[in-house]
Structure 1
């Protein structure tokens, strides 16, 4: 059963439906939101975004040459990028809704740690989704599944006063692209049982609007189209990390 909600989650969060002009800027905005909540817990935010082009996004410690078919990405002009959180490599693009939660850290999060907090957060999401998909479940460390197939991968990054939880939601994605651009992952959850990407992942039978409504209800968010982003801070993140090829590929 999910721990008592009160010490874990804000009573409500602002909802931000905003996709930037490039996936590099989208990754930078996620990090900016983490820093904003670290400075002011009242800025707790749920964000959704979806790129119009395909790209590969590595976890912070992934080695691109191990996890990605770099030649296939070059042929298709698919950029290989890196986020600031952990987890494995993913392919995103049209039909893959990305979501971000930037939330304050409380004593109960510290007690649970990253693994326990991830389990509680995803458990809340799976429970709220079961009204539409009774088989929705949390599997492995950070996957959301229907039956034995994964539709959402997730990762976190913690600061002193806030943490970032972000993930993917496949709903109308061109699934063969995952096999085209990603190699078999170097680390796999036991329940995957060495299945190929094509056998392991699936789309949800929901559309983007339904997913946005589910997320807003789960996290008690009201959607808005923009927020006051410190442009200088975002530009600094782009310059120091997300616009630099060596940040994305040199591991």
Structure 2
């Protein structure tokens, strides 16, 4: 199919979970996507097919978001794809979604675990955003993914939540520094979601699922498709005046 000349987003970690939901939600409102995947090439190809069935266009690119040294090459490849696929030089939207789920009580968190979380959730987001900024159009949008765990505390998530707290601070600084370019930057903070994140514990542990549901105002655990449409709505022209905000999408957890 011949891609339309409309808005184009870059979504990291788009082959599964919240990234897949975001890519499909964007397609439903007419936004094309370049999305990244780490190892799940077959899943990424299926997402491309799903996007095309929705009448939009997507390109899947491999990327290890913890490998900062690869970002210059990735950005060069991104420019090539924009030029040859859309005859464009710039993106309109960046969604920093890719992540890993590693948990453990503070006394048992190893330096390796801490460093892996930081390289993906904090360092990787900072330097990938830095690399992509020259490719992001003036007047564009950035959405960073955080977590409800920056508002409430659950044992075992200290290191992960620390990284996401840093992302929320980074969001505000991005909004301040990119304001002269007309780029708005916001954080979306999901609550507990039924995905394979963290080994699928929220989805597969029935007892935990029930506990979370009982502490959520809407009476259930979140689904990936509760989040993608939030991001799609946030980057719409109707929400252009929302900037530097943390928007929690948790169904009302721990109110």
Higher relative contact order (CA 8 A, sep 6+): 1
Q: What is the TM-score when the length of structure 1 is the normalising length? A: 0.27
Q: What is the TM-score when the length of structure 2 is the normalising length? A: 0.27
The answer to which structure has the higher strand fraction is 1
